[in-house]
Structure 1
Amino acid sequence: MLFKPRAKNSIPARATRSTKRGVQYASWINRQNKKVTAEIHTDDEGDEYVYIECATWYARWKDSEGRRIQKNTECVDKSAANAVLARWRGRAEKVRAGYIRAADEHQDRRKSNLIDTVLNEYAASLKQTGRTDRHIDYIKYVVVEIKTTANIHRIVDLTRRHIEVYLAGLQDKGVGARTRNMHKALINGFCVFALRHGYLESNPAANIETANQALDRRHVRRALTDTEITQLLDAAEARPIENFLYGNVGAVDVAKVKPGTLDELRRIGQERRLVYETLLTTAARWGELRAVTVADCVLDGNAPHIRLQATATKNRQADTVPLTVSLAKKLKAWAKTNGRIGKARLFNMGVSGLRALTADLMFANIPVETDEGVIDIHALRHTAATRLARAGVPVSVAQRVLRHSDPKLTMSLYSHLGVLDTTAAVESLPAWDAAKAKAKRKA
């Protein structure tokens, strides 16, 4: 039931008195500029007082254990108070039915917390799961941008409309569909956390339309051909010393160059070639290979491989990538020649290898961008996937090599197969009359 409790108060000094049917009343204007009229009572000591109703409605009901509960709905409107009471009674029914715990029955899920407070809790939770600081900072950036765009501060004020307006604003700014979908996923993760921890009654980011990335591809990569791979590897090895000898103004007298300088340039070229070979063979990501140590490499036996550290992989799980026997021999010789053992990094790789790759492509006369797409570091992974497809490797096996969670991702990389590849596949089909001709030969 709903009711408004009354409190005993003294008669305000500004009140006016009136008498109706022999009963005295006091009238005055309250702080909300509303007229209040109350009956005047007198206690045993002769002091006068009035009873004033509370401004909000209170609810009284029985919880799941039969206890009588009385609580302020904090609603001035009676219909709104009825809705709150219905929710409280419904929670008691869910406890009896076994849908929620009894300990959660009396928790007020409508916590009036600031978005910043919830965001800090979410960041701390992600930190415990091993997410990188870069990833957490980006989530904070997205949530703060939504808060600023919507001009809200409390988590309970976040609505679906706010999120849709934010995503539409990104589109108006020319942000690609893939980035918008990523922002939507990050917002959804934040809202799911808030829902599970009682800050929201429902997820405002649920069921928001996903942008069509196929219609808005901003960065199309292409795969290298086998001929281009050979040219790239040769260029990567030769470019450091070639640039030193012939890339400067004026001729360089090799006789005056210290032997150690030339040896170091040759070592840099060999290392760069091995980096590309390893990326093209294992389909590893740049950051994953950058974190590999010599101890992570199993270079002997019939199944050489590299163990990838969980801190470096995209899904934060340790994994392995296979090596060919010939590449394993090259890596073993590389580590031995350069005195790298144990926890020493296998390669000296920078945070990004794009600048060096671009220079190597130009040195090899390979166009960085064509009508088919661009070549960047991640395109080497696309190239590895395409070579697996051309070799007839089943998608399920390629998915394991590429460490994709969804085979659709693997199939998307197989799209680099060209007309020559598909033509060869069709040519391998038997002729229409092949079965008939075979039957005649048997006859």
Structure 2
Amino acid sequence: MAVRKITRNGKKSKGYYVFFSDHHGKEHSIVSGTDIGAARTFESKVSELVGCRVSKYYGPDIQRWIDGLPNKLKNKFHKWDLLSGCRVAVSRPLQNQLADWKAFLKASGITRKQAEQLHLRVERLFGECGFSYWPDISASRVLQATDSLRKTIRTKKGLKDLGPASSNTKKYFLRACKQFCGWMAKEGRASGNPLLHLSRTAEVENPRRALSVAEVEALLAYTKTAPDRFGISGPERALIYRFAVETALRANEIRTLTRRSFDFEDRTVTVAAKNTKNRKKATLPLRASTAERIVHHLSGKMPTAAAFRVPQGNTAKMIQKDLTKARAAWIEAAKDHPDEHRRRAESDFMEIKTAEGKIDFHSLRHTTPTLLSALGIHPKVIQTIMRHSTVAMSMEIYTHAQEEQIREAIDNLPEFEEQTRLKTGTDDAVADAIGTQKVHGNITVNTAKRNIYQPEPAQAINVIGTNRSGSLIHEICENERETAVLTSKQCSDMIPLNKVPVAQLD
């Protein structure tokens, strides 16, 4: 109950005290202010808190009330075993909470680099919002800070502002903040995720594109004889590009390979789990010709030596430099033919940036599923090679429809012109584009084409059965695919071909 205490001098206290018994039956008292209404409300909430401790279920309303309590009162409730340590932890500074979250991320299996990147994103965005404690977090302020994010890089002179951040970068920052708040809720440190309802639809402002077969061939042909670049010989760079396209491995995964990673008897390459993005060991097959090239390349290297010298952070610049030089050589090769020279100069062939997107080293990973899809490989197989969690990731994000494929698809559409009337049978009858029906005995035959893309078969007579009277039922095909259209009665009168006596088929 809420009452005023009698002080030592016999007077009533100014504030009201709430007396209650906890779940152990022990009595406690808390001063709750000078307003009797507020004191009674506080008393009912404390009674509800004791009930929640007994049932071990804290509803949304009581959790929000707990979050708003002063830290001193939370610590007192924790001392009385009414609140768990995790629930009291919300009163700690966000900096400490973020440190705990980063430790959790590292223990969960992601790389140290990924954990630090997520931590820095949340730390930066919350810092720009001015948040110090959990109750400070406001969804509207987070959204405003996300919209005003700018891209910066660290130089020797300090941070350099590169202008507004891309929509993708903003999406990643917001996602990291939501992930942290979600972790706080799951750990019981907070009553809920205040950013759960926020979302951003990122427009892909600078998408990657896949290389065509011709572009890969031209890039490899040039690089084989190219000079050293970024401390790597031309032949080794060509082998790296070929290997990346054929395995869909990421730059860092290739960088971590050693001679021991290759099994040339089974023709496979294995990436250790600690070096893959999803922390799962990956074993991929090698083409025989590529395996031979790698054997020659690795000859003389120790088992623990790096298989390839992949630059750290400059892979995009490396391939873009090679593409620029390869394109220039391709254009120069046509200098004696003005029309062809002009056509090449005006084309997008091996251009770094086109309407389809840009090319960097990761574009080689986009090239793999694009080429496999064009070959008609099953999407599930492509997903397995790409090591994606879903087929949608492989097909929707990494597989690209290239311009020549789109043109070919459009060119294969029907002309939609009125078709010439065709002779469709031995009786020289004619038919329009829809076709006509011809009668062979008591069987009606539709002479229309079923599929304009099917090859036209040679003229033949296909015996398909016999009726009860013993007459053969046949289908006549003369430069057309003709389908027998049978009534239900005619079908019931048919005898399957495998039941026809051999003498009758002769």
SS in 2 for 1:58: strand
CA shift, 1:155, in A, is: 1.9
Q: Is the 8 A contact 1:305 1:322 kept in 2?
A: yes
**Offset at residue 383 of structure 1 (A):** 1.0
2:281 to 315, 318, 331: 318
Paired residues for 1:86-235 under 5 Å? 86-94=48-56, 106-107=83-84, 109-111=87-89, 112-170=91-149, 174-209=164-199, 211-213=200-202, 216-235=203-222
Distance 1:85 1:191 in 2: 29
Structure with the higher fraction of residues in helix conformation: 1
State how far apart, in whole Å, the 2-side matches of 1:93 and 1:232 are. 68
Distance in 2 separating the partners of 1:114 and 1:361: 50
Deviation per residue, 1:282-315 (Å, 9 max, x gap) = 01110110001111112223xx221112232222
| Equivalent pair of 2:4/2:12 in contact (CA under 8 Å) | no
Shift, 1:141, TM fit: 2.4
What's the secondary structure of 2:362's corresponding residue? Answer: helix
Number of residue pairs matched by the alignment? 366
Query: 54, 67, 92: which one pairs with 2:25?
Result: 67
How many angstroms apart in 2 are the aligned matches of 1:387 and 1:71? 74
- Equivalent residue runs for 1:290-309 within 5 Å: 290-301=255-266, 304-309=267-272
When residues 186 and 96 of structure 1 are mapped into structure 2, their CA distance, relative to the original with a 3 A threshold, is: closer
Report what 1:340 is aligned to: 301
* Matches for 1:360-375 after TM superposition, within 5 Å: 360-365=322-327, 366-375=350-359
Q: How many angstroms apart in 2 are the aligned matches of 1:96 and 1:383?
A: 52
Letter in 1 for 2:201: N
Identity %: 22
1:147 to 1:58, Cα distance in 2 relative to 1, 3 A: farther
Residue aligning to 1:15: none
With 291-300 and 271-280 compared, the bigger mean Cα shift is at 291-300
Compared CA separation, residues 95 and 86, structure 1 to 2 (3 A): closer
Gap change, CA 1:9 and 1:105, over 3 Å in 2: closer
Pairing partner for 2:234 from 257, 269, 272: 269
Output one character per residue of 1:361-384: Cα deviation in whole Å (capped at 9) or x when no partner.
111113211222211111111111
Distance 1:229 1:82, change over 3 A: same
* 2:131 aligned partner, one-letter code: I
| Equivalent position amino acid for 2:2 in 1 | F
Larger RCO (CA under 8 A, 6+ residues apart): 1
CA apart distance, 1:88: 4.0
Output the amino acid matched with 1:145.
R
Greater mean deviation of Cα atoms: 322-331 or 426-435 = 426-435
* Structure 2: unaligned runs, 5 residues or longer: 60-79, 152-162, 328-349, 415-432, 435-447, 458-474, 485-506
Shift of 1:181: 2.0
Shift of the 58–317 alpha-carbon distance from structure 1 to 2, 3 Å rule, reads farther
Is 1:236–1:273's contact at 8 Å kept on the other side of the alignment?
yes
What does residue range 282-293 of structure 1 map to in structure 2 within 5 Å? 282-293=247-258
Q: Which amino acid aligns with 2:20?
A: R
CA contact (8 A) 1:110 1:201 kept: no
- C-alpha contact (below 8 Å) 1:155/1:199 kept by paired residues: no
In structure 2, C-alpha distance between the alignment counterparts of 1:410 and 1:73, rounded to whole Å: 62
8 Å contact kept, 1:221–1:374? yes
In 2, Cα distance between equivalents of 1:146 and 1:228: 41
Alignment of 1:401-420 (within 5 A): 401-413=385-397, 415-420=399-404
Question: How far off is 1:51 after superposition?
Answer: 4.3
Q: Which runs of 4+ in 1 moved over 4 A?
A: 73-76, 94-97, 422-432, 436-440
Correspondence for 1:394: 378
- Gapped regions of structure 1 (runs ≥ 5): 11-40, 42-49, 98-102, 244-264
2:209 match: secondary structure: coil
Cα distance in structure 1, aligned partners of 2:192 and 2:140: 14
Q: 1:164 to 1:381 in 2, by over 3 A?
A: same
8 Å Cα contact 2:261/2:270 also seen in 1: yes
Show the counterpart of 2:225: 238
Provide the secondary structure at the position in 2 that maps to 1:412.
helix
Q: In the aligned structure 2, how far is the partner of 1:364 from the partner of 1:163?
A: 46
Distance 1:440 1:179 in 2: 65
For 1:212, give the aligned amino acid.
T
Shift of 1:229: 0.7
Which letter maps to 2:283? T
Q: Are 1:52 and 2:13 matched, yes or no?
A: yes
1:171–1:180 contact (8 Å) kept in structure 2: no
The 3-state SS of whatever aligns with 1:273 is: helix
Structure 1 residue 387 displacement after superposition: 0.6
TM-score by length of 2: 0.64
Task: Answer whether contact 2:122 2:173 (CA < 8 A) is retained.
Answer: no
Distance in structure 1 (CA, Å) of the matches to 2:301 and 2:363: 29
| Separation in 2, partners of 1:422, 1:228 | 17
Q: CA deviation at 1:318?
A: 2.1
CA contact (8 A) 1:385 1:398 kept: yes
TM-aligned CA distance change 1:298 to 1:425, over 3 Å: farther
Q: Partners in 1 of 2:398 and 2:58 — Cα distance? A: 54
Q: Assess, with a 3 A threshold, how the Cα gap between structure 1 residues 440 and 232 changes in structure 2: closer, same or farther.
A: same
Contact 2:20 2:29 in 1 (8 A): yes
Q: TM-score, normalised by structure 1?
A: 0.72
Give 1:166 shift. 2.4
Aligned partners of 2:408 and 2:401: how far apart in 1? Answer: 11
User: Match of 2:7, SS?
Assistant: strand
Q: 1:69 to 1:188 in 2, by over 3 A?
A: farther
Query: Which deviates more from structure 2 when the two are superposed, residues 316-325 or residues 280-289?
Result: 316-325
Does the 8 Å CA contact 1:75/1:81 hold for their aligned counterparts? no
CA contact (8 A) 1:59 1:72 kept: yes
